[in-house]
Amino acid sequence: MPLLFGTAGVPLSSTDRSSEGGIRRIKELGLGALELEFVQGVRMGEAKARKIQETAQAEGIALSCHGPYWINFNSREPEKVAASAERLIHTAHIAHLAGIRAVVFHPAFNHDDDTDTVFSRIVAGLSDVRETLDAEGIEVLLRPETTGKPSQYGDLEETIRLAQAVPGVLPCIDFSHLHARTNGKMNTYDEFSRILEVTAEALGDRWVKNAHFHISGIEYGLKGEKRHLIMAEADLQYKELLRALRSAGVEGLAICESPNLEGDALILQREYEAL
């Protein structure tokens, strides 16, 4: 199957709330991936990370993770930029030991700066992070995410541009975020297909064969994202999205961030397999 479907965090139905328990529950459900959530910080030691890798390998489950929210390479305060780099490096280090293939993160807030200025600052920060990781032999991909609000850096073109500028960087395309930040656009088969075409043209097979997506229902307004929703309660045309994904032939992970984690992840997987 070109895409592996999974949940953002331990499935709700997992009685064992540990990461290892979540991996085993993903296997029981018949899903293929799990994204570990380090959004409030990485509170995991090296021994625990190695156990997670052993469990994931034994169960045949692909892993990614979401890094801490407190990353902003466009902060006005140099110490916060430095802290952002340290958080990303630490997350990648633990991810590497856990057998995680990619770290998803939100790169910056725009503040009052133009996109070129923010881009340059993020590239400088990510280049330093990548240099440190490469020196340590850590090949974990860094995946800046398309973001849900125009106040955040991260429309599709901006995110692709980062991946073109820094080796070891590929986008996480969050379709719900793109839908929200455009106040309801990006919601047809043609629009979804165009997103995939533009990304494939810009990044080639290194992305087509190793893509990463977030999918969920979403509530939004004029300022973009408000909160994630169960897909049945939202207007995201997920069946058209899945049709576009199937037609594009992309491979990688599709992570469900719906409040109904595994329920909606299984719906996505079933609909995709039926195409």
- Count of beta carbons in the 10 Å neighbourhood of residue 1: 9
- 171, 145 in Cβ contact below 8 A? yes
What's domain 3-274's superfamily in CATH?
Answer: Divalent-metal-dependent TIM barrel enzymes (3.20.20.150)
Q: Which pLDDT belongs to residue 165?
A: 98
Residues of the chain with pLDDT under 50: none
Alpha carbons 254 and 3: distance in angstroms, whole number: 7
Q: Which pLDDT belongs to residue 1?
A: 57
- 169, 163 in Cβ contact below 8 A? yes
Question: Residue 229 is which amino acid?
Answer: L
- 154, 187 in Cβ contact below 8 A? no
Q: Which pLDDT belongs to residue 41?
A: 87
- 180, 224 in Cβ contact below 8 A? yes
Q: Which pLDDT belongs to residue 238?
A: 98
Alpha carbons 19 and 69: distance in angstroms, whole number: 19
Q: Which pLDDT belongs to residue 2?
A: 82
Q: Which pLDDT belongs to residue 267?
A: 98
Domain boundaries, the chain: 3-274
